[in-house]
Amino acid sequence: MLEAHGPISPPHRWSIMSPGSASGSSLAHASPAACPPETDTRNMRLLRTTLAAAALTLLALSTPSIASAQGLPTDAMQARVDSIIATHGGEQVAWNEISWDQGAVVATLSPESEVSSRSISALAAGNCESGRYCAYSRINYGGDKLTFSACPATNTSFGAIGQARSISNNRGSSTVRAYAGTTLKNTISTGSGAANVTGITRITCS
């Protein structure tokens, strides 16, 4: 039988050193092998491919928001335009605009995102084109807008935007008046507006 004489040393990995590195064929502990250059190249290519795919995914996710912010056409908006033209006539001149009488009256339809986020502190004449007077479907000059250029004139139809809840006068030297039936509700001088009106059936410019 074999008898153990003292503790048994754990196994070692060994390699034979090349001639000249030590005398004779001495034994030395093996060192781990370095990664070949081909492996580094493959890893770099994989990393670049992964980053490129991630960038494309982020771009695709952000595209609808960008389109919405830039006011690109949507099916819902086109349906609104088609419905108004079918009821009130007019000609579509932009993705959200309808014109009557060769531009004397223009309806600008506001996307819901813009309507909900519009600040109530918007200036009266700020979003009504110079030389025009405007009626809005919401208070504080928000929502859909009818822009009028003819003066003197009497305008009695707000059906394209539903109702007139605020009015702005951005003409150079004209007065706009808002009536509920025969009752004068507001007198709007140049560069000013009425931010909250109700029951308006006609507006005049003189």
pLDDT on residue 33: 53
pTM reported for the whole predicted model: 0.62
CA angle 119, 88, 157 (to 5 degrees): 60
Q: Which helix or strand (DSSP H or E) is residue 77 part of? A: helix 75-88
60 compared with 158, residue with greater pLDDT: 158
Question: Domain 75-205 is classified in which CATH homologous superfamily?
Answer: Crystallins (2.60.20.10)
Q: Which helix or strand (DSSP H or E) is residue 48 part of? A: helix 37-69
Quick one: what percent of the chain has pLDDT higher than 90?
56
112-146 pLDDT tens trace: 644 444 444 444 445 899 999 999 999 999 999 99
Do the beta carbons of residue 90 and residue 84 sit within 8 Å? yes
Residues near 60 by beta carbon (within 8 Å), at least 6 away in sequence: none
pLDDT on residue 93: 97
151-183 pLDDT tens trace: 999 999 999 999 999 999 999 999 999 999 999
Residue 23 pLDDT class (50, 70, 90 cuts)? very low
Long-range contacts of 57-62 (CB under 8 A, 24+ apart): none
Instruction: Single out the residue of 204, 198, 192 nearest to residue 124, CA to CA.
Output: 192
Residues near 128 by beta carbon (within 8 Å), at least 6 away in sequence: 134, 141, 145, 147, 168, 169, 170, 193
Q: Which helix or strand (DSSP H or E) is residue 43 part of? A: helix 37-69
Residue found under tokens 């990995």: 13
Pairwise CA distance, residues 31 & 97, whole Å: 77
